[in-house]
Structure 1
Amino acid sequence: MGTVIMHSAVSVDGFIADENDNVGPLHDWYFTGDTPIIEDGDQRYDHSGAGSGFKVSHASAEYVRPMWEAVGAIVMGRTLFDLVNGWEGRPPAGDHVIVVSHRPKPEGWHPEASYHFVDGVTAAIDKAQELAGERTVAVNAGEVGGQILAAGLVDEVAMDVVPVVFGSGRRYFGSIAGQHLLEDPHVVIQGDRVLHLKFKVRR
């Protein structure tokens, strides 16, 4: 099975969005560089749901490109799915998306897209690993990501730290309880207005 990586852009005080689910400047670095993440010019969707090509600094591209190419499946919560309308069936990375939700897929919503709605985080990771095979399972940070980490199902934590302080909002780790130790960062890359960090979860 592939590695399960919890990932998101995050403010320096640990928020992935404000209290109204606005990401503010957290994703600006995706569009202010001169190096495309996707070399073939394919247009993908950003986290706000607006179609646009990603262009980042060279340092960020060298980090993000292989990470995105390794993704086989994404696990997300229903809140993010609703906010971005599931990226209109075209996730920014990977071929499959698993949505943790008590509600089913909206009727008639992009039947061609490999989106699977499951009730519970363990079932979500099981389905994601089945579909991803040896490729990476990317878990969106937030409430669902925090639950997956608390369940002991996350192998690595990846944070794109942006130099902004939100003060309040949606936490990277959601409302996770208890202490969870990470190893020292094994990836530390400075991009333009972003610091890429990656930690293995201590078992």
Structure 2
Amino acid sequence: MGRVVMHNVVSLDCFIADENDGIGPLHEWYFSGDTLIAAGGDQTYDHSGVGNDFKVSRASAEYVRPMWAAIGATVMGRNLFDLVNGWEGQPPAGDHVVVVSHRPKPDGWHPEASYHFVDNVTAAIDKAQELAGERTISVNAGEVGSQILAAGLVDEVAMDVVPVVFGSGKRYFGSIDGQQLLEDPHVVIQGDRVLHLRFKVRR
């Protein structure tokens, strides 16, 4: 089975959005570089919803390209799904999305897209593993991500740390209760206005 990686862009004080789900400058580094993120060949990632290609620094591109190319399925919460309207059925990376929600997929919403709705995090990871096979499962941080981490189902924590302090908002680790030990970072890459970090979860 593929690795389960909890991932998000995050402020220095570990927020992924403000209280109103605003992301402020957190994603500016995705569009301020000179290197296009490509999946290989001529396929490029352009699912921002605002008509912009993802262009990052060369250092970030060398990290993000293989990371995104390895993703087979993404697990997200219903709040994020509603905020971005499921990226209109085209996730930035991977072929499949699993949404943790007590509400079903909206009627008539992009029937061609491989989006699957389940009502708990264990079922979400099971479904994502079925869909992704040996490829990586990307779990969005926040409340759903923290539940998956607390359940012992996350293999790695990946953070794209942006030099901004939010002060309050939606936490990367949600409302997780208790300590979770991680190993020393095995990836530390400095991009422009972002620091890429990855930690394996200690078993």
Instruction: Give the count of matched residue pairs.
Output: 201
TM-score by structure 1 length?
A: 0.97
**CA contact 1:6–1:141 (8 Å) conserved in 2:** yes
Partner of 2:114: 114
**Structure 1 portions without partners, runs of 5+:** none
Return structure 1 stretches of 4+ with deviation > 3 angstroms.
Answer: none
Give the whole-Å Cα distance in 1 for the aligned partners of 2:149 and 2:45: 31
Is structure 2 residue 124 aligned with structure 1 residue 127? Answer: no
Give the whole-Å Cα distance in 1 for the aligned partners of 2:202 and 2:85: 34
AA at the equivalent of 1:77: G
Partner of 1:192: 192
1:111 Cα deviation (Å)?
0.2
TM-score by structure 2 length?
A: 0.97
Q: How does 1:1-203 map to 2 (within 5 A)?
A: 1-38=1-38, 40=42, 42-46=44-48, 49-203=49-203
**Structure 2 portions without partners, runs of 5+:** none
Give the whole-Å Cα distance in 1 for the aligned partners of 2:198 and 2:188: 7
**CA contact 2:37–2:45 (8 Å) conserved in 1:** no
Give the whole-Å Cα distance in 2 for the aligned partners of 1:20 and 1:69: 31
Give the whole-Å Cα distance in 2 for the aligned partners of 1:91 and 1:98: 11
**CA contact 2:101–2:120 (8 Å) conserved in 1:** yes
Q: Deviations over 1:48-103 (max 9, x none)?
A: x4342100000000000000000000000000000000000000000000000000
AA at the equivalent of 1:120: N
1:33 Cα deviation (Å)?
0.2
Give the whole-Å Cα distance in 1 for the aligned partners of 2:32 and 2:96: 28
1:43 Cα deviation (Å)?
4.8
**CA contact 2:59–2:190 (8 Å) conserved in 1:** yes
1:45 Cα deviation (Å)?
1.7
